[in-house]
Amino acid sequence: MEADFLFSIYYEEIKKLGESIYENPELGYKEKHTKQAVIDYLRKCNSECTIQEFSTTGLRTTLGEGKPIHIAFLAELDAVYAPSHFRSDPKTGAAHNCGHYTQVAIALALYRQLVESKAYKQFDYTISFIFVPAEEYLDLAFRDELMHKGVISHYGGKPEAMKLGVFDDIDLSVCVHAMGGEFAKRTIEIDCDLAGFLYKRYTFKGKSTHAGFDPFSSVNAYNMSTLFHTAISLGRQQLDEKEKVRLNPIVMESDMSTNVIPNHIKVGTDLRTLSTPYMQTVAKRLDAAAQGSAMALQGEVEIDTQMGYLPFQQDRYLSTFVKAAYEEDEQIEDILEDNSISAAGDIGDLSYMMPCIQIGYSGFTGTIHGDDFIDVDPEYIYDIFPKFLFQVLGKLNGKIDRSKMYKRSYQEYVQVIQSILEQKEEHGIEA
């Protein structure tokens, strides 16, 4: 698609906007400053735009309504809880060490280009820009309060938007995400699949007695948890390497004294896998290990399972358009393909409903979610990469094969989540 790029003209403005969001990090469902910054910029670019609000801080605006195919371009509004980050908010502990601030600026740069060039009018598809809150799975006590008040039903912003019907008329979604670490060349990444995860909580219960006078009649809950940790460690040998399973068991709650045998301890772990069936398999093994550990020491265990996000398998068909644009681009020097990592995101939940891709982009230093994460190549992030995305949108024009699309409902998504949480108690070894 030929176009007179306006990106470079507004580069400093977009960069300043991204920096402003970086300097004002906000946790999920609290992104008030970021929300207002987006609204102000959208109206500055297009005074006639209609903005739909959802999920406290979410926003959606649409260009070229009424066409047979509808694409969503997504940006995530929230920051991470990282109080030790060098640019964290001292009051809230929030910090933008996952790069979401650049997503928002990139989306607004792309929106402005489409509006001012009027290129969207030539597309055979409608495009909506959706700014989604609460991608990061954290600050759960606050989100529990919102759930109790009936404000939200999901911890994650995308599942909440799915419930509210924000994606009901969308056929496919495009997201972008920062790549951690430094790259010698300006790089993009396609087809990087993400793990899904759930939380398991195990409350071991025993019987307290005096640790010196009468330990003989006690039932030691701490020992049960120690045996459970050992079982997890020994069971790692049986985990399928290609599933990239990750477990991180920690003591979440205890009340112990050196002269009293502990009768209560809560252990929690996340469980990450690349596929939902294997997630269920490993969850059963963890439950069996916990129950066996309690039984071996004459105690009890209560098990609680909480769903996180579904695994994300990027849509390979949609990625072909990104690859085609890359092959014609002279400023982006390298591409990474077909990787998988154990990080997760609620894009996995949305991908159950429709085809989704998430394009990675370099330009940063430090570790994703680390204390040292920051952008180091703003020209690439705020100018070159948005130009590239504009070319991707051009490649999609007139070329989308609807037979390669799929669509599922929110109700079907809920049924899948329930099937994971309501798994049967089958603790035997599975191949």
- String of DSSP letters for 322-339: HHHHHHH-SS--EEEES-
Are 32 and 165 found together in one domain? yes
Are 171 and 216 found together in one domain? no
Instruction: Note the pLDDT tens digit of each residue in 63-72.
Output: 999 999 999 9
Q: Does the structure show a pLDDT above 70 at 402?
A: yes
Assigned domain for 428 exists: no
Dihedral angle at the C-alpha atoms of 151, 140, 37, 39, nearest 10 degrees? Answer: -30
- pLDDT of 7: 74
Structure token digits, residue 419: 């099937």
- CA separation, residue 324 to residues 100, 222, 404 (Å): 26, 57, 18
Q: How confident is the model at residue 254 (pLDDT cuts 50, 70, 90)?
A: confident
Domain CATH number, residue 289: 3.30.70.360
What span, in angstroms and rounded, lies between the C-alpha atoms of 237 and 122? 56
Q: Which domain holds residue 239?
A: 196-309+414-421
Q: Does the structure show a pLDDT above 50 at 46?
A: yes
Looking up tokens 């996000």 gives 309
- CA separation, residue 250 to residues 28, 111, 148, 261 (Å): 24, 44, 27, 20
Domain CATH number, residue 123: 3.40.630.10
Q: What is the mean pLDDT of the chain?
A: 94
Residues in the chain: 431
Assigned domain for 241 exists: yes
337-365: average pLDDT: 97
- pLDDT of 359: 98
Assigned domain for 67 exists: yes
Are 242 and 389 found together in one domain? no
Instruction: Note the pLDDT tens digit of each residue in 211-232.
Output: 999 999 999 999 999 999 999 9
Assigned domain for 2 exists: no
300-309 and 246-247 strand pairing = unpaired
In contact, 388 and 329? CB cutoff 8 Å: yes
- pLDDT of 255: 81
Specify the higher pLDDT residue, 3 or 254: 254
Are 183 and 42 found together in one domain? yes
Are 290 and 317 found together in one domain? no
- pLDDT of 270: 94
- pLDDT of 253: 87
Q: Does the structure show a pLDDT above 60 at 425?
A: no
- pLDDT of 423: 66
In contact, 267 and 250? CB cutoff 8 Å: yes
In the chain, the percentage of residues whose pLDDT exceeds 90 is 93
Q: How confident is the model at residue 181 (pLDDT cuts 50, 70, 90)?
A: confident
Assigned domain for 205 exists: yes
Looking up tokens 């995400």 gives 177
160-175: average pLDDT: 98
Specify the higher pLDDT residue, 424 or 202: 202
Are 121 and 225 found together in one domain? no
Q: How confident is the model at residue 428 (pLDDT cuts 50, 70, 90)?
A: very low
Q: How many domains does the chain have?
A: 2
Instruction: Note the pLDDT tens digit of each residue in 355-401.
Output: 999 999 999 999 999 999 999 999 999 999 999 999 999 999 999 99
Are 121 and 231 found together in one domain? no
153-159: average pLDDT: 97
Are 58 and 127 found together in one domain? yes
Assigned domain for 409 exists: no
Q: How confident is the model at residue 422 (pLDDT cuts 50, 70, 90)?
A: confident
- Which among 178, 170, 89 is positioned nearest to 135, based on CA atoms? 178
In contact, 335 and 153? CB cutoff 8 Å: no
Are 32 and 127 found together in one domain? yes
Assigned domain for 426 exists: no
Assigned domain for 429 exists: no
In contact, 196 and 245? CB cutoff 8 Å: no
252-273: average pLDDT: 93
Are 63 and 40 found together in one domain? yes
In the chain, the percentage of residues whose pLDDT exceeds 70 is 97
Q: How confident is the model at residue 431 (pLDDT cuts 50, 70, 90)?
A: very low
List beta partners, residue 268. 201, 250
Instruction: Note the pLDDT tens digit of each residue in 20-41.
Output: 999 999 999 999 999 999 999 9
Q: How confident is the model at residue 133 (pLDDT cuts 50, 70, 90)?
A: very high
Q: How confident is the model at residue 8 (pLDDT cuts 50, 70, 90)?
A: confident
Are 292 and 201 found together in one domain? yes
Are 211 and 158 found together in one domain? no
